[in-house]
Amino acid sequence: MTQQFKDYFSGASRDYSLYRPHYPSELFTYLASLSKHHETAWDCATGTGQTAQKLSALYQTVVATDASQTQLAQAEHQLAHRDNIIFEKMCAEKTNITSGSIDLVTVSQALHWFDLERFSVEVNRVLKPGGVLAVWAYDLMSITPAIDDVVSYLYHTVLDGYWPVERKMIENGYREINFPLQEIESPVFEMTQRWNLTQLLGYLHTWSSIRKQLSTTGGDLVEAELNKISALWGDAEKPQTITWPLVLRTWSME
């Protein structure tokens, strides 16, 4: 059964670009070490192009695809200086990528939106022998115990019912996902940012659940929790360290 593309992010593509955490460079160095060749990488569901940008320093060509034209436009605008990135509007499950041409396929914070059976077929079609599939995601961040408690309450209680059901796959650490490839045991990575309060609140407002709650109820309950976070933060201009553990799974084509 064909799964319809669910676009939760085009309406916030600029904020998504400004306020999303950055994946560590060590992650991409590791992924490049797994693939036998470094000719072409496919960044599937590229969003605003963060992963494609990192890959462009490690692979001769990066094919960056997304089903959202708005997200692609944002990525192309930001990465116009990267002449080895090819941007294409395509769904994950059906592309015009040449069979057996890809050394590395990456999916960052997006696999849970895919029709996994059809995507698996497409990955098997485009990967070279020895090619690698890498998927990763992140869940709740950690700041301080007090702020973490408020964020957890906001996420699990105030926003309960506003999250798309697909997000459960992230909460489960992608544990139930498997591909007919050889799995590689990967190290643990985390993202770390030094953000001030404005940056944190900007990030929280990129959550699709918060945008949905604000549009349907006016968001008084959300704002109450954000005010608690602001009070606990203290000096709004003072940066604090925020960390997100990454869930990473990798496979290779034998």
Bridge-based pairing of strands 240-252 and 190-195 is antiparallel
H-type helices in the chain, by residue range? 13-19, 25-34, 50-55, 69-78, 116-126, 145-153, 168-171, 197-204, 208-217, 220-233
Q: Please give the single-letter amino acid code of residue 76.
A: E
Integer Cα distance of 254 and 251 in angstroms:
9
> Is residue 5 domain-resident?
no
Residue 134 near residue 28 (C-beta atoms within 8 A): no
Name 142's bridge partners. 243
Domain membership of residue 165 (yes or no) is yes
User: Quick check: is 1 in a domain?
Assistant: no
- CA dist., res. 190 & res. 152, Å (int): 19
On whether residue 187 sits in a domain, the answer given is yes
In a domain, 237, yes or no: yes
The 10s digit of each residue's pLDDT in 88-125 is: 999 999 999 999 999 999 999 999 989 999 999 999 99
Quote the number of domains for the chain: 1
List all residues 6 or more positions away from 96 whose beta carbon is below 8 Å from its beta carbon: 88, 90
Tell me if 254 sits within 8 A of 129, measured CB to CB: yes
- Measured distance CA(251)–CA(185) in Å, rounded: 9
Q: Strand pairing partners for 184?
A: 250
Q: What pLDDT shows up at residue 211? A: 87
Write out pLDDT tens, residues 68-92: 999 899 999 999 999 999 999 999 9
Place of tokens 């650490």: 173
Contact, 102 vs 44, CB < 8 A? Answer: no
Is residue 171, in this structure, part of any structural domain at all? yes
| Sign of CA pseudo-dihedral 144, 50, 186, 44 | positive
Classify each residue of 101-126 as buried b or exposed e, where b means 16 or more C-beta atoms within 10 Å of its C-beta.
bbbbbbbbbbbbbbbbebbbebbbeb
In a domain, 4, yes or no: no
What CATH number has the domain bearing residue 229? 3.40.50.150
Domain-located, residue 2: no
Closest to 114 in 3D by CA, of 159, 75, 164? 164
pLDDT in tens, the chain (254 residues): 344 444 444 445 566 567 889 999 999 999 999 999 999 999 999 998 999 999 999 999 999 999 999 989 999 999 999 999 999 999 999 999 999 999 999 999 999 989 999 999 999 999 999 999 999 999 899 999 999 999 999 999 999 999 888 889 999 999 999 999 999 999 999 999 999 999 999 999 989 899 888 888 877 899 999 999 999 999 999 999 999 999 999 999 98
> What range defines the domain where residue 44 resides?
10-252
